[in-house]
Structure 1
Amino acid sequence: MAVKTNFSSKNFKDILSNYNLGELVYSNPITKGTVQTNFLIKTTTNKLVFRYYENRTTESVLFEINLLNYLQEKKYPCPTPLCNNDGHFIGIYNNKPYVLFHFIEGEHIENPTTKQKKQLIRKVAEFHNLTKGYKSDLTQYRLNYNVEQCERLAQESAEKINTLNSQEKLKWYIHQLKQLVLPSSLPKGICHSDFHFSNVLFQNDEFKALIDFDDANYTFLTFDLVCMIEPFKSTFDWDTWEKFSLEDDVFDFSNAKKVVLEYSQYRPLNESEKIHLFDLLKFGILIDCIWYFERGNVDDFFEKRKIDYLNNLGRENFTKELFG
């Protein structure tokens, strides 16, 4: 699924002719990933990753490259984009942008240990310390997570599906957005927004790098935090939720508490962030709802059920469970 555009050896030889990175030895598609096309390239002098952006504008890719260069300057472990002979990081092939990166040795851990989880949480907190207030003239070209953007995307999804169910779900969705309390004073910066195990590299049991900044955008810093906490029981999921009734207790805050405690050691949350973590969790669920807008009947579906459980619990009880 990862390779949507095929590249021949001749294609890569032509591309490499614009760089001082040696001659092509071989190229292999990278199967992990679902959106962009990636190849591992071995040259006579280097090991590289070729990333072909299937659905991103050049400006959006440049936002990512500038962010990575900024993080590199701060010694943060992340991919290193490479310049071509003209001093540009981005090349164009068939009217779509591509970038070459140094290959990072490491492995993806599908079931990380407690130590590895703590390392990731620490690196996420450090990432936020670096990107808090990070400014880019290209921010507008990213899919930034905010209420206005979510409403627009939900409207587009409803119109595309064009059913009575989608229109009713849109009404529910907009109502839920309006219930969120997200003060403008909440700290914002760049969030990575995708901590799937395939985007984290470990080597010899140590954190090596955070990769794939394709979803990175300017939003509330605690958005990444709510992506890592999971207050719902593991048995309650998208394919099991119908087995539960609204009266069932579906919460298990033990892991969420550990994540928040570990994160706070490196980036302490202010009182406003603690109070409105409840709203950010609901916000994250509503973003998930956009990607699966066609799934489920408006009367009862997975994301709605999660929102209902949280509303029944309430912000005050949620905050007490997390912070005591």
Structure 2
Amino acid sequence: MAAKTMLSEHDLRAILANYHLGELVSFKPLTLGTVQTNCRITTTKGVFVFRYYESRSIGSVLFESNLIRHLKRKNYPCPGLLKNRGGGYVGIFNEKPYAIFEFVEGQHLERPTEIQQKQLIQKVAELQIITKGYKPRKTEYRWNYSVDLARELAHEAVSRIGSVNAEEKLKWFEDELAILQLPRTLPKGVCHCDFHFSNILFKNGEFQALLDFDDANYTFLTYDLATLINPFIPSFEWNTWHQFKPDDNVIDLYSAHSVASEYAHYRALSNSEKRHLFDVYKLSILFDCIWYFERGDVRDFYERRKIGHLNRLGRDAFYDGLFGE
């Protein structure tokens, strides 16, 4: 987690001088974000959200700016960016980039209802319709999820950790990457890649906005669908997996089938996307493995269990479970 910056009233007044947003009245740090610094600011002209990027390059933030402006032109429900006096959308303060967003009213729900979950799935599908084939300027400054990036980040993790366990885990990781089938013809576009409850707003029970495109990147278009489905029983989680035996049946495709069916109501998947959702889902697990590379013994750890269960199930059975009649 990046260290948060404590912004002063003087700092915010200096930043607001670059905008046509009135004078600062009050400000309040927002605590839900785990990486960047977010602050709700009230001025004489309204309420806005100031975001200070603790761990992103200017190129990465410009990618996000270009993406959000594209989405707003398509009337997608996400907070828009405010233009500064120079006509730009991204500024620099103390050598770090920042942006000011529209403030959207709503609530973050830890336990959305089934109807609200369906609303999210619909908005995810609509996002992929808008971004299919779309590659914003500055895409090269993002971690664009692919086999090559996964391999590169895994090697970096091993170099950082420097243990025998990490080196052995890398061997397993490389073997699993090698058997993924991800045809070059699979559609790509921009995916959000982080549907944590703190990034979704509801108001009066209705979907209001998708927030925080900090992890968005150009990748397989089904990557977001892969992050929404869960082909495992609910009790099989990162903190409970060790309570199960390796040969226990922990796969249950009913929920995943429901999510895929709901998604398909709004964006039809090609046969190739259906066939290789198995591989995209496994790729998402391998990226989770990278974020927690130090966690677990190489002989048996959470992501290895998940991949093992899927390998035993197989691509065809996965396809039948999600897309069969």
Instruction: Please indicate, yes or no, whether the TM-score normalized by the shorter chain is above 0.5.
Output: yes
Report the equivalent of 2:11.
Answer: 11
User: Structure 2, unaligned stretches of length 5 or more?
Assistant: none
Specify the code of the residue in structure 2 equivalent to 1:323: F
In structure 1, the partner of 2:121 is: 121
Matched, 1:258 2:233: no
Counterpart in the other structure of 2:194 = 194
Query: Helix, strand or coil: the match of 1:40?
Result: strand
Q: Distance in 2 between matches of 1:292 and 1:202?
A: 30
Aligned to 1:241: 241
Query: Partner of 1:288: helix, strand, or coil?
Result: helix
Alpha carbons 1:2, 1:31 under 8 Å: kept: no
Q: Which residue of 1 aligns with 2:217?
A: 217
Question: 2-side partners of 1:39 and 1:120: how far apart?
Answer: 25
> What residue is the counterpart of 2:98 in the other structure?
98
- Match of residue 229 from structure 1: 229
- 1:136 CA drift (Å): 2.3
Q: Confirm whether residue 298 of structure 1 aligns to residue 293 of structure 2.
A: no
Distance 1:229 1:163 in 2: 33
Quick one: distance in 2 between partners of 1:136 and 1:29? Answer: 30
Q: Residue 86 of structure 1 aligns to which amino acid in structure 2?
A: G
Q: CA deviation at 1:137?
A: 3.0
Secondary structure, aligned partner of 1:41: strand
Residue 23 of structure 1 aligns with which residue? 23
Counterpart-to-counterpart distance in 2, 1:53 and 1:304? 33
- CA–CA distance in structure 2, aligned partners of residues 155 and 254 of structure 1: 36
TM-score, normalization by structure 2: 0.98
How many angstroms apart in 2 are the aligned matches of 1:283 and 1:88? 36
Moved over 6 A (4+): none
Correspondence list, 1:73-222, <5 A:
73-222=73-222
Tell me whether 1:320 sits opposite 2:320 in the alignment.
Answer: yes
Q: Assess if the C-alpha contact under 8 Å between 2:66 and 2:137 holds in 1.
A: no
% identical aligned pairs: 56
Deviation, structure 1 residue 247: 1.5
SS at match of 1:50: strand
Q: Taking structure 1 as reference, are residues 3 and 153 closer, same or farther at Cα in structure 2, changes over 3 Å only? A: closer
Q: Deviations over 1:224-267 (max 9, x none)?
A: 00100001111111111111112211012121111100000111
Q: Aligned with 1:201: secondary structure?
A: strand
Which residues in structure 2 correspond to 1:16-95 (within 5 Å)?
A: 16-95=16-95
Cα contact 2:144–2:219 (8 A) shared by 1: yes
Given that 1:3 and 1:31 are in contact with CA atoms closer than 8 Å, whether structure 2 keeps it comes out as no
- Residue 94 of structure 1 and its aligned partner are, at CA, apart by 0.9
How much is the aligned-residue C-alpha RMSD, in angstroms? 1.0
SS of 1:181's equivalent in the other structure is coil
> Once the 2 structures are TM-superposed, how far is the Cα of residue 323 of structure 1 from its aligned partner?
1.3
Structure 2 distance, partners of 1:111, 1:198, is: 11
SS in 1 for 2:100: strand
- Conserved 8 A contact 1:79-1:209: yes
Count the aligned residue pairs.
324
> Partners of 1:175 and 1:2 in 2: how far apart?
32
Task: Specify the alignment match of 1:281 in structure 2.
Answer: 281
- Are the structure 2 counterparts of residues 3 and 296 from structure 1 closer, same or farther at C-alpha, using a change threshold of 3 Å? closer
Equivalent AA in structure 1 for residue 53 of structure 2: Y
1:118 aligns to what SS in structure 2?
Answer: helix
State the Cα distance separating 1:322 from its structure 2 match: 1.1
Separation of aligned partners in 1, 2:307 and 2:119: 30
- Which SS does the other structure have where 1:25 is aligned? strand
Task: Give the conservation status (yes or no) of the 8 Å contact 2:2–2:54.
Answer: no
Counterpart-to-counterpart distance in 2, 1:200 and 1:35 = 16
- For the 8 Å contact 2:2–2:55, the answer to whether it is kept is no
User: What displacement does 1:159 show?
Assistant: 0.7
Mapped contact 1:51–1:98 kept (Cα < 8 A): yes
Q: Which amino acid aligns with 1:279?
A: D
Q: Distance in 1 between matches of 2:241 and 2:106?
A: 36
